[in-house]
Amino acid sequence: MRKLLFVTVLALDEGGAKDAFLADAQKYRRELLAHCYRMTGSLHDAEDLVQETYLRAWKSYDRFEGKSSVRTWLYRIATNTCLTALDGRKRRPLPSGLGGPSADPYADLTERHEIAWLEPIPDDPHEDPADPSVIAESRESVRLALIAALQHLSPRQRAVLVLREVLQWKAAEVGEVIGASTAAVNSLLQRARAQLDEVAPSRDDQPVSPESPQAAEALAKYIAAFEDYDMDRLVELFTADAVWEMPPFDGWYSGPADIIALSKYHCPAAGAGDMRFLRTTANGQPVAALYMRNPETNVHEAFQLHVLDLRTRGIAHVVAFMDVSLFRKFGLPETL
């Protein structure tokens, strides 16, 4: 009886310790979400993989020897969870990453729902404004252009690049996670960098922080032009080489003239007052959340999330995500 009581108490103590560990480990949830997002390019998948990471950590807590920090241990579990999930999966592209040329704005639009498209991720609302360098670094590592470029790498290359370049892990530490030698890790990193140089867009100016006065002014002008449906004002905001894309449509459009032609030709019935916007941020970039007026109900309904790549020269890239389920993920209402 005494032995049974002892075992029961011991089990309760172990269970309590595991629960306490899991509660303490929750402070790493947001950065683990960003890590899984970099690996997958999907907010939905990243959320599921973080849950799986914590479940695996809770189950294997008794094997945690404390040789590394809890944070490092969680990253190891998260990385391997992502690698397992990505095995055999196709990459998540943007339309411009499908390999085709820019589209004719007067051609028919084609939706491709069979493609698992890249998704945006909302910025962390709890970032510490007292440490702008940390914020800038974390945002740079989830910018849409980088996440789209990472999709061209194999999952193992992705893991190596993120762990080495973003998290600043040593090659030997990365090797322990993915089961490779230091030499193999360095080789994977070299090939990953070379591939990124081939696919990542080159810019001669820097991105503008979404909290800066310049970003606030540019976003205000962008929203006002759309809400007034003044395409002449809108065209002035884009750079000469600006790109527009809107998954799940598989076309992408280059240059202000084609972008405006696309809007006029495919949305000719829109007028002043038909569009309203809310402002937020995602991927370290300004976001204009578009609500389109339903003529039958006269209610403005969630329609698109415009993620802007704002540069010192103007708006260089807009991805208008048409997955309205993202509005809830961003804490945005479905109607205005």
Looking up residue 310, the CATH number of its domain turns out to be 3.10.450.50
CA pair distance 158, 188, nearest whole angstrom:
9
CA pair distance 88, 286, nearest whole angstrom:
33
The tokens of 144 are what? 């849409």
CA pair distance 267, 273, nearest whole angstrom:
14
CA pair distance 100, 113, nearest whole angstrom:
17
* ω into 248 cis (within 30 of 0): yes
pLDDT 10s digits, 181-192: 999 999 999 999
Tell me whether residue 118 is in a domain: no
pLDDT at 26 over 70: yes
Find tokens 């322990």 and name the residue.
176
Tell me whether residue 304 is in a domain: yes
**Mean pLDDT of the residues in the chain:** 89
What average pLDDT does this structure show over 28-54?
96
| Nearest CA among 48, 90, 56 for reference residue 75 | 56
- Confidence at residue 23, expressed as pLDDT on a 0 to 100 scale: 75
- Confidence at residue 192, expressed as pLDDT on a 0 to 100 scale: 95
CA pair distance 27, 267, nearest whole angstrom:
45
CA pair distance 319, 151, nearest whole angstrom:
16
CA pair distance 174, 203, nearest whole angstrom:
30
Whole-number percent of the chain with pLDDT over 90: 72
Tell me whether residue 290 is in a domain: yes
**Among 89, 104, 120, where does a domain finish?**
89
Tell me whether residue 336 is in a domain: no
pLDDT at 10 over 90: no
- Confidence at residue 134, expressed as pLDDT on a 0 to 100 scale: 54
pLDDT at 3 over 50: no
What average pLDDT does this structure show over 204-208?
82
- Please tell me the total count of domains within the chain: 2
- Confidence at residue 2, expressed as pLDDT on a 0 to 100 scale: 45
Tell me whether residue 13 is in a domain: yes
Are residues 272 and 228 in contact, defined by beta-carbon separation less than 8 angstroms? yes
What average pLDDT does this structure show over 28-55?
96
SS3 labels along the chain: CHHHHHHHHHHHHHHHHHHHHHHHHHHHHHHHHHHHHHHHCCHHHHHHHHHHHHHHHHHCHHHCCCCCCHHHHHHHHHHHHHHHHHCCCCCCCCHHHCCCCCCCCCCCCCECCCCCCCCCCECCCCCCCCCHHHHHHHHHCCCHHHHHHHCCCCHHHHHHHHHHHHCCCCHHHHHHHHCCCHHHHHHHHHHHHHHHHHHCCCCCCCECCCCCHHHHHHHHHHHHHHHCCCHHHHHCCEEEEEEEECCCECCEEECHHHHHHHHHHHCCCCCCCCEEEEEEEECCEEEEEEEEEECCCCEEEEEEEEEEEEECCEEEEEEEECCCHHHHHCCCCCEC
Q: How confident is the model at residue 21 (pLDDT cuts 50, 70, 90)?
A: confident
**Among 89, 111, 142, where does a domain finish?**
89
Find tokens 């894309």 and name the residue.
245
pLDDT at 135 over 70: no
- Confidence at residue 272, expressed as pLDDT on a 0 to 100 scale: 85
- Confidence at residue 139, expressed as pLDDT on a 0 to 100 scale: 79
- Looking at 35-49, 91-105, 132-146, 295-309, which range is the least confident one? 132-146
Region of 320 please: left (phi>0), alpha (psi -120 to 50) or beta. beta
pLDDT 10s digits, 276-303: 999 999 999 999 999 999 999 999 999 9
Whole-number percent of the chain with pLDDT over 70: 90
Tell me whether residue 260 is in a domain: yes
pLDDT 10s digits, 151-197: 999 999 999 999 999 999 999 999 999 999 999 999 999 999 999 98
What average pLDDT does this structure show over 45-70?
87
Predicted TM-score (pTM) of this structure: 0.89
Q: How confident is the model at residue 8 (pLDDT cuts 50, 70, 90)?
A: very low
Tell me whether residue 38 is in a domain: yes
What CATH number does residue 13 fall under? Answer: 1.10.1740.10
User: Which residues constitute the domain of residue 276?
Assistant: 213-329
CB atoms within 10 A of CB 107: 11
Structure-model confidence comparison of residues 206 and 118, the more confident one = 118
Q: How confident is the model at residue 12 (pLDDT cuts 50, 70, 90)?
A: very low
pLDDT at 7 over 50: no
- Confidence at residue 4, expressed as pLDDT on a 0 to 100 scale: 45
**Among 72, 89, 106, where does a domain finish?**
89
pLDDT 10s digits, 230-258: 988 999 999 999 999 999 999 999 999 99
The tokens of 189 are what? 């990193």
Q: How confident is the model at residue 322 (pLDDT cuts 50, 70, 90)?
A: very high
What average pLDDT does this structure show over 81-92?
94
